[in-house]
């Protein structure tokens, strides 16, 4: 167990940000262009891919999602759950923001912007689907990229690992009920069977497979080597999925390019609001800066791979929900890098507030 923790800590905090991670926004933009172009020139091929379904799950996308998610989940050490007690306040803040603020604030923002402020500028038959995509995006906290944000902000790697392990455990049980509740409040009906199938396919099974693989790699002493080798898999699969999505969404985007910009606005507000809230709450409760940073970043970022997969399963390739989750991918990296810069530059302000709070108490 100790060896596993040490290896995971190194994997989470020691590796430099990769070339693909650093320029993910550029790759996403290129995938948008490539997907739209291919969808217009090879529509018959993509229509064929869209028909490859079993139990409402598109098989090519399902495979790509597994290739995306499993390498990320291999990094997660559930044995780190015992570390939770070391930073109860920071863990509490992150859980509060992740599960009690973020999904509900996004549902409100979706209602405000999509159903009211932007309703006249969006396709009326897709309004519910856009709201659903935003809710799916906010209903699950980030699992993988948060390791990158944590090390860029000099966050405590053990806190990051324990928080991710705890969030993944909660996600198995809480994702479906929260999504169903918020979609119901938003008057959007989805079959529970499809929602549970998404949780089983994209959370439960990948977690089990990843942990079995992790155990085998640690036993063989090849964990770090394997992580370096499979690191490109997740992003490559994500980019391939985006090409498929935009091949199907291309005509709608060409007819109304303003949609992407409008969908980005509530997502941007949600990320900035939740990161600021988590950062401020950690300062108020007296947590260290290297705990507050990953707490704020985990509190704000989204498990967009799961959101994309669930949106496709629930609403289909051509849905507004799928498009909304992809917009989340598009803006996640630059916005989170901006948040990283803010928490790094505000370290003196943060620590001065901690010192002041201690003196007053």
**Residue of higher predicted confidence among 7 and 114:** 114
Is 50's pLDDT higher than 50? yes
Is 46's pLDDT higher than 70? yes
Name the average pLDDT for the chain: 81
Which of 34-48, 140-154, 187-201, 342-356 is predicted least confidently?
187-201
What pLDDT does residue 156 have? 86
Measure the CA–CA gap between 93 and 296, rounded to whole angstroms: 9
What pLDDT does residue 149 have? 81
Which of 188-197, 206-215, 257-266 is predicted least confidently?
188-197
What pLDDT does residue 342 have? 93
Which of 70-74, 170-174, 188-192, 197-201 is predicted least confidently?
188-192
What pLDDT does residue 357 have? 60
- Report, as an integer, the average pLDDT of 298-323: 82
- Is residue 305 helix, strand or coil? helix
With contact defined as beta carbons under 8 Å apart, do 250 and 42 qualify? no
Measure the CA–CA gap between 337 and 18, rounded to whole angstroms: 14
**CA 61 remoteness from chain centre:** 17
Is 318's pLDDT higher than 80? no
What pLDDT does residue 195 have? 74
What pLDDT does residue 56 have? 63
**Residue of higher predicted confidence among 361 and 319:** 319
Is 1's pLDDT higher than 60? no
pTM for the whole structure: 0.79
Give tens-digit pLDDT for 221-271.
Answer: 888 888 878 877 777 887 887 788 778 777 767 777 788 899 999 999 999
**DSSP letters spanning 250-303:** HHHHHH-THHHHHHHHHHHHHHHHHHHHHHHHHHHHT--HHHHHHHHHHHH-B-
Is 361's pLDDT higher than 60? no
Measure the CA–CA gap between 339 and 324, rounded to whole angstroms: 21
**CA 59 remoteness from chain centre:** 22
**CA 40 remoteness from chain centre:** 29
Measure the CA–CA gap between 121 and 165, rounded to whole angstroms: 41
Tokens of 316: 């289909």
What pLDDT does residue 264 have? 92
- Select from 30, 25, 104, 31 the least CA-distant residue to 264: 25
- Select from 21, 6, 31 the least CA-distant residue to 218: 6
Domain locations in the chain as residue ranges: 2-354
Is 304's pLDDT higher than 80? no
**Residue of higher predicted confidence among 132 and 152:** 132
Give tens-digit pLDDT for 53-90.
Answer: 766 667 787 788 788 778 877 877 777 677 677 788 99
What pLDDT does residue 41 have? 87
Give tens-digit pLDDT for 133-170.
Answer: 999 999 888 876 777 788 888 888 888 888 888 888 88
What pLDDT does residue 291 have? 92
**Residue of higher predicted confidence among 198 and 96:** 96
What pLDDT does residue 180 have? 85
pLDDT band at 7 (very low <50, low <70, confident <90, very high): very low
Is 115's pLDDT higher than 80? yes
What pLDDT does residue 3 have? 29
**CA 1 remoteness from chain centre:** 27
The domain defined by 2-354 carries CATH number 1.20.1530.20? yes
């Amino acid at each position: 167990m100790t060896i596993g923790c040490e290896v995971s800590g190194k994997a989470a905090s020691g590796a430099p940000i990769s070339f693909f991670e650093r320029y993910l926004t550029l790759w996403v933009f290129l995938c948008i262009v490539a997907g739209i172009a291919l969808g217009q020139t090879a529509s018959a091929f993509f229509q064929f891919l869209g028909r490859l379904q079993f139990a409402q799950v598109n098989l090519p996308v399902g495979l790509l999602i597994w290739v995306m998610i499993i390498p990320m989940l291999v990094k997660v050490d559930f044995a780190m759950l015992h570390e939770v007690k070391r930073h109860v306040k920071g863990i509490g803040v992150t859980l509060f923001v992740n599960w009690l603020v973020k999904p509900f604030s996004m549902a409100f923002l979706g209602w405000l912007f999509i159903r009211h402020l932007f309703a006249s500028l969006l396709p009326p038959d897709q309004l519910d689907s856009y709201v659903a995509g935003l809710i799916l995006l906010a209903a699950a906290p980030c699992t993988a990229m948060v390791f990158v944000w944590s090390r860029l902000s000099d966050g405590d790697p053990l806190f990051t690992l324990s928080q991710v392990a705890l969030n993944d455990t909660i996600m198995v049980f809480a994702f479906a009920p929260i999504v169903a509740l918020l979609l119901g409040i938003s008057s959007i009906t989805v079959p529970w069977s499809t929602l549970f199938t998404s949780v089983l396919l994209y959370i439960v099974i990948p977690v089990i497979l990843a942990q079995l693989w992790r155990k085998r790699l640690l036993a063989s002493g090849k964990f770090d080597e394997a992580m370096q080798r499979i690191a490109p898999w997740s992003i490559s699969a994500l980019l391939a999925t985006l090409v498929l999505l935009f091949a199907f969404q291309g005509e709608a985007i060409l007819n109304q390019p303003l949609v992407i910009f409008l969908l980005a606005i509530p997502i941007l507000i949600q990320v900035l609001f939740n990161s600021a809230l988590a950062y401020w709450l950690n300062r108020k409760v007296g947590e260290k800066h290297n705990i507050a940073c990953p707490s704020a970043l985990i509190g704000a970022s989204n498990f967009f791979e799961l959101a994309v997969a669930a949106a496709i399963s629930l609403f289909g390739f051509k849905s507004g929900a799928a498009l909304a989750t992809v917009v989340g991918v598009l803006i996640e990296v630059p916005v989170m890098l901006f948040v990283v810069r803010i928490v790094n530059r505000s370290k003196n302000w943060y620590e001065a507030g901690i010192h002041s709070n201690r003196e007053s108490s």
